[in-house]
Amino acid sequence: MFVPSGSFLTWVGQFAAWSFDTISLDDAMAQVSAYLKNNYNIVVTDYNDTLAGSLGAGTVTVSLQSNLDRGDSGADDGVADIKSNVDDAFAHINTFGYTPPNLTGSSCNLTATQPSDGGGGPTYKFSIQNLLPSLLGGSPVTADQQAQYTAQGQAQINSVATNAAAASGANSTAAQTARAAAAQQATAFVTDEARLAAAQNKAAASSDQWILYGLIAAGVLVAAVVALPYIAAARGVTR
């Protein structure tokens, strides 16, 4: 699943009894927050727990915001990656020689999808084709970039259906409705992206043509100015 930059997630970890007997939850979360920010650019926005005191078993719920695009439309699952990052952060808690918190299980869910950084869409790889004028084969939106943007946009749309299935069951009415709506939106998205890319490339080509016409006109004017003295001199000689 693609998780665009700025998205919010909720991680829930199950801890065994005595997990926070050598370090308080607040101190542990201070370390986890710093580790996630420094290593994965994930920000902890809030946390709460159901622990029965410092020695009781229970859950810790952590609210997160990812400041990087994670995953793609293929096998790389951004939510699974972020879950693994939080698990890793708890595993690296420094308890100064004592037993670290005993994480027995965890889960992670995407709670709100935000537009990605980079102009409201996935960040494109640099291409010299973006910089060249259309007259030299340039294109503001290359075919590769359009394909990448379309694939990642579809992944964001499909995540709605995935979340509905996870929340209400894969075969529930809500999940089926969400999948049907996602399929319709994905089809419309592809059409819109192709139309917008074509319009942008056409506008760039039109701009190039006017620049070319302007250069030709300027060249004719310069040539006329340069030629005037010679024309005048030639007319004087003939007289």
pLDDT digit string, tens, across residues 133-186: 766 667 776 666 666 566 666 666 666 656 655 555 556 676 666 667 666 666
* Residue 139: domain span: 133-239
Indicate whether 60 pLDDT > 60.
yes
Check whether residue 115 and residue 24 sit in a common domain. Answer: yes
Indicate whether 69 pLDDT > 50.
yes
Q: Which two tokens stand for residue 11?
A: 């991680």
Check whether residue 224 and residue 159 sit in a common domain. Answer: yes
DSSP 74: S
- Of 105, 123, 141, the last residue of a domain is 123
CATH number at residue 39: 3.30.70.260
Q: Contact at 8 Å (CB) between 61 and 108?
A: no
* pLDDT-derived band at 213, boundaries 50, 70, 90: low
Check whether residue 54 and residue 163 sit in a common domain. Answer: no
- Of 123, 158, 188, the last residue of a domain is 123
Question: Residue 104, SS3?
Answer: strand
Q: 165-174 — which CB contacts under 8 Å span 24+ positions?
A: 166/109
Nearest to 66 by CA among 87, 37, 26, 93: 37
Check whether residue 99 and residue 145 sit in a common domain. Answer: no
First-residue to last-residue Cα distance in the chain: 85
Check whether residue 66 and residue 155 sit in a common domain. Answer: no
Q: Which residues contact 113 (CB under 8 A, 6 or more apart)?
A: 3, 4, 7, 156, 159
| Percent of the residues in the chain that have a pLDDT greater than 90, as a whole number | 28
Check whether residue 3 and residue 110 sit in a common domain. Answer: yes
pLDDT in the model for residue 149: 63
pLDDT in the model for residue 124: 47
Mean pLDDT of the residues in the chain: 76
Residue 128 in domain:
no
